[in-house]
Structure 1
Amino acid sequence: MTRGGFGRRIAVAAFVALFSVCLAMTLAPRAGWAQQARQGVNPTAQAVKEEQLLKELDRVTGRVSIPDSKAGTLIQPEGREWRAYHERTLHWIGGIAILGMLAVLALFYSVRGKIRIEHGWAGVKIMRFTTFERFVHWLTASSFIVLALSGLNVVFGKVLLLPLVGSDAFAVFSQWAKYAHNYLSFAFAAGIVLTFVIWVTENIPNRTDIAWAKQGGGILGHAHPPAGKFNGGQKLIFWSVVLVGAAIAASGYVLMFPFYGTNIADMQVAQIIHGVLGVLMIAVILAHIYIGTLGMEGAFDAMGTGEVDLNWAKEHHSLWVEEEMSKARAAGGGAAVPAE
């Protein structure tokens, strides 16, 4: 045998061996698939479906080794919606509510002016609120003012305050504002509970409130409709403070103690409730402050000293004055005492 013939045989043998290996590698998976098919196994059952991919299109998740599994979610569609609410929608709601209320009050004052005591000062005062009642009012009011200012800093601080004071001062102020917001929330919640307990029986709406509202409550025009210790407007403020304030406090505690029975979506809903109700509450309280100070002569004395002028009381709370007079006559004393 020649050397050339021997080489050709080796080449043919190598080619046959290589072809056999390739054929075996090609047929082996098909045989496995055929066997799985005979056994009722679908080899693509665990494959990712197109629907799954579409669902995860707006979400980036991964696996984490730390106990907090929520850290594995890096992006979620709801987070984008919440960011849009926090950076744009809440700004519009707060701006319209607060600035709109200030504009309405300014217009009303320019047209109506301060509501005077029509019969002048009587020089005789009647006790309207006790020391404890005034303490509850100022506990709730003062804590709410701090909560409102610190909360507005969260909403508008980066836009309005940061450019004025600089980043360092803004950071320090925001940190202390956060502490004040968190800790004074307990005082505010206590004030809401005490407010409800001591005044709820006198703030039940009745037919007198309807008649009071029809006559403008003594604010629109110069009529002085009869009212008890609290008129229809004050009852509206009372229930706003109690119900809306309670919702603000509850949602705030959800945010203060996160993920105790809640998930990320629940936290986002709590922030929306807390923010929207907060700015609306500020607008309502601005109207309350206006009436109690600049808007009505003699009104501040009720929560200032606890005693109000008798003529003021007769004009704005005539039914309550009659009730107090009846109690005084039954007790053999006088409901009104000379002013100092």
Structure 2
Amino acid sequence: MTAFARIRFAGFLLMLFGLTTASVLAQKLGPDGAPNPTASVTTQKTLLEQAPRIQGRIDIPDVKAGVLMQPAGRTWDYFHEVLLHWGAALVIVGMLAVLAIAYLIMGRLRIEAGRSGQTIVRFKAFERFAHWLTAVSFVLLGLTGLNVTFGKILLRPLVGPDAFSDISQIAKYVHNFTSFAFVAGLVLITLLFFRDNLFKRIDIDWVKQGGGFIKSKHAPAGRFNLGEKMVYWLSVAAGIAVSASGFVLLFPFYGTDIADMQIAQVTHAVIAILFIALILGHIYIGTLGMEGAFEAMGTGEVDINWAREHHDRWLAEKLEAEGRQASATPAE
């Protein structure tokens, strides 16, 4: 090939490159010569052909941000907007109804022998601090969490959308930061009461004697009876599960994907609702359901006769350790 032929061939290649570049630029520029931002975007028709899962192309490295629709998302939405509403309402209202019926049938469990006028320390100050730290933080978490589920249905029509928005934003921060106090309290009560809540042979006798609900029978118990132990272990298990799933939601997408986040949200919601129902029963027994029970965590001391009727083995060991004797005679 002569030098002239080579020059002419090189010119042809340059012209071809120029035409191609011009065509590409024409696609990227609009009719007015301005850049066309949608020139390289996947068309709507192409995206819709991917249904039921639709994922586009994005410039940032966060691949999950390009997911527009996914079948599991619709399942999660149905759970959150329908199943959770009905399920939570049935569980919570159902528990309140059961407790109301129990109160109407049995009334308040009184101290049969009457108050003796003598007291004994049941919980030390630090034990009560751990309990109330967990209890108060749980109540705040429960109320702010229920706002997520029922707020739009129950609260927004009462206060209006603007006030509801402000309340919900505050509730979100309260919920997030209170979670750390709850975890601290959960760790404390787990460590403080672990040994006394181990199952023992006396728990079988407690069940055989009707658990203290049959007036003609006396149910023996140590520091905690079987019912209290069940509440303790269920609370610890639920507390761990709800805390773990809660922190996954609090710090999203750290080693998790969209499916993991949806599972965490469902787990957190279901366990939290069941946890609330459990604690409602615990609150009832400790207040309206049983005379003298609240004093244990209120002042830390309980009446001797109350202790003898509900925790006789623990009372005997406590009195022996203190070198005390107590009369069962009611105070005048």
1:127 matches 2:121: yes
Partner SS, residue 220 of structure 2: coil
1:77 aligns with 2:71: yes
Q: Conserved in 1, the CA contact under 8 Å of 2:48 and 2:54?
A: no
1:269 aligns with 2:263: yes
- Quote the Cα distance in structure 1 between the aligned partners of 2:326 and 2:196: 19
Of 163, 171, 176, 1:169 maps to: 163
Deviation of the 1:221 alpha carbon: 4.6
**Partners of 2:72 and 2:209 in 1: how far apart?**
48
Q: Which residue of structure 2 aligns with residue 312 of structure 1? A: 306
> What are the superposed Cα offsets for residues 109-131 of structure 1, whole Å, 9 maximum, x if unpaired?
00000000000000000000000
Question: 1:67 and 2:68 equivalent?
Answer: no
Q: Identify the residue that residue 99 of structure 2 maps to in structure 1.
A: 105
Which of residues 183, 193, 211 in structure 1 aligns to 2:187? 193
Q: Give the Cα–Cα distance (whole angstroms) in 2 for the partners of residues 119 and 196 of structure 1.
A: 33
CA displacement, residues 85-115 of structure 1 (integer Å, 9 cap, x when unaligned): 0011111221111100000000000000000
Once the two structures are superposed, the pairs formed by residues 90-101 of structure 1 within 5 Å of their partners are 90-101=84-95
Q: If you compute each CA radius of gyration, which structure gives the higher value, 1 or 2?
A: 1
Matched, 1:297 2:294: no
After the TM superposition, which segments of 4 or more aligned residues of structure 1 sit over 6 Å from their partners?
A: none
Shift of 1:206: 1.8
1:249 has 2:253 as partner: no
> What is the CA–CA distance in structure 2 between the aligned matches of 1:269 and 1:335, rounded to whole Å?
55
The alignment's TM-score, normalised by the length of structure 2, stands at 0.82
Matching residue of 2:18: none
Q: How many residues were matched structurally?
A: 282
Whole-angstrom distance in 2 between the partners of 1:163 and 1:245: 32
Contact 2:249/2:265, CA 8 A, preserved across alignment: yes
Alignment equivalent of 1:278, drawn from 272, 288, 293: 272
2:9 maps to which residue? none
Shift of 1:226: 0.5
Aligned pairs (5 A) from 1:191-230:
191-221=185-215, 223-230=217-224
RMSD: 1.8
Structure 2 gaps, min length 5: 1-46
Q: For 1:77 and 1:55, how far apart are their aligned partners in 2?
A: 14
Residue in structure 2 matched with residue 232 of structure 1 by the alignment: 226
After superposition, residues 1-20 of structure 1 pair within 5 angstroms as: none
- Name the aligned partner's letter for residue 77 of structure 2: R
Identity of aligned residues (%): 57
Give, as a single letter, the amino acid of the residue that structure 1 aligns with 2:240. Answer: A
Q: Aligned-pair distance for 1:68?
A: 1.6
What is the Cα deviation at residue 207 of structure 1?
A: 2.1
Please tell me the residue identity of whatever aligns with 1:169: A
Q: Give the aligned partner of residue 31 of structure 1.
A: none
**C-alpha distance in structure 2 between counterparts of 1:167 and 1:213, whole Å:** 52
Q: Secondary structure at the match of 1:159?
A: helix
Q: State the Cα distance separating 1:212 from its structure 2 match.
A: 1.4
- Would the aligned equivalents of 1:97 and 1:279 in 2 still touch at CA under 8 Å? yes
Tell me which amino acid in the other structure corresponds to 2:246: G
8 Å CA contact 1:126, 1:335 repeated in 2: no
Whether 1:152 aligns to 2:167 is no
Unaligned runs of 5+ in 1: 1-52
Residues 203/335 of structure 1: CA separation in 2 closer, same or farther (3 Å cut): farther
Q: Which moved more, 1:92-101 or 1:249-258?
A: 92-101
How far apart in 2 are the matches of 1:163 and 1:220? 47
Give how far 1:220 is off: 4.9
Query: Is the Cα–Cα contact under 8 Å of residues 328 and 335 in structure 1 kept in the other structure?
Result: no
Q: Which residue of 2 aligns with 1:326?
A: 320
The question of whether the paired residues in 2 share the 8 Å contact of 1:324 and 1:335 is answered with: no
- After TM superposition, give the deviation of residue 201 of structure 1 in Å: 0.4
